[in-house]
Structure formats: C-alpha cells, structure tokens
Copies of this chain bind each other. A is one copy, B any other.
Amino acid sequence: MRLSNLADYAVVLMSAAARHCGAARLAEGRLNATKLAQETGVPLPTAKKLVSRLTAAGLFESTRGIGGGIRLARPPASISLADIVEAVEGPLAITSCTIDGNHDCLLESGCTVKPHWGVVNRTIRQALDDVSLASLSDIPSTHMSHRSSRTQTRDGDHARSVSTSLDTNGIMAG
C-alpha cells in the first residue's frame, strides 16, 4: 500500500520541473535530467531513467542533441499526481483483479469481495487526481522519502541529509 520510491521521486522531479519551466516560459531554462537531479537530490541515473519514462508517458517533451533538454508537455495545472504515478507504476489498480481482462481467479464465483474493490479504487484514484502539479509547487516545507542518506555517486552530492523537527502533518489518525 505504499508508493514505490520511483514514483515518489518522479513526483518530486516533476514538481521541481514545474517550478522551473512551466510550459509557458519554456525557452527560459534548458532544463534536463542532470539539473533536476541536482536540485532535488535524486540520484542522477535514477533521474535520467525517470525522465525517460515520464517522456514516454507524454508528461515531458524532450529534445536531443547538443542544445536539447526537457520541458513539461502540459501546463502544471493539468497534470495530476495520478498521471505521474500511473506513468511510473503502470495502471492504477489496488488489486490485480480490478485490472481489465484479468480472470485468473481461483475462487469459483462465490467471491464477495470483488465488488468492493472498485469503490475503493475509484476513491483512491480520485484522491490522487485532486492534487495537481501546480498546487504541489506552491507551499514549501520539508520532505523527501529517501530512506537513508545513501552514498551519492561521483555525479554530485548536492543533497545532504537533513533532519528537521517537522513531522507527521496528520496521518492515519483514522
């Protein structure tokens, strides 16, 4: 029930990208994976990989060659968390049985659980859809889900582990 690290990184990366170029002022920055990695602290190779995926998914537009780079394909307001997560992790489904065409079910037609997954799934998707990239780039705070201050490669150790006293702004008080 957790987001993969890759998806989390992707959100951070795109959030940074949104702050930078924002489809409007595209010629401004000549943004690329390296720059994003520097700013966010995401390891460069991982950033490159994610940029690839996000480009393939149509969230970034890339230009090759010596003057190349990337830019957001759409304005930040029209990109949601759901878009990003789905681009990195694939179809957004809680259980494999909620994926279309998956009929390898062992239970013989007496399953009482399946109908409910659809509801849960829609709710979760909605929650992710309601947060746009634009809103992500506004309020500054402290976060990133790197598990540890891992060894940076020679590509740059622009990020350092910070321990702030800001924590748990409200989780699972259920």
Question: Footprint of B on A, CB under 8 Å?
Answer: 1-4, 7-8, 11-12, 15, 19, 40-42, 81-82, 85, 89, 91-129, 131, 135-149, 159-164, 167-174
Contacts and interface: CB of A to CB of B under 8 A. Distances in A.
Contacts of A144: 97, 105-107, 111, 113-114
**Count of identical protomers in the assembly:** 2
A111 B15 CA distance: 9
16 contacts: A1-B4, A1-B124, A12-B107, A12-B113, A15-B112, A40-B107, A99-B168, A100-B168, A103-B164, A104-B149, A105-B163, A107-B159, A108-B162, A111-B144, A119-B131, A122-B172
Contacts of A147: 96, 104
B118 A140 contact: no
Contacts of A171: 93, 98-100, 118, 121-122, 125
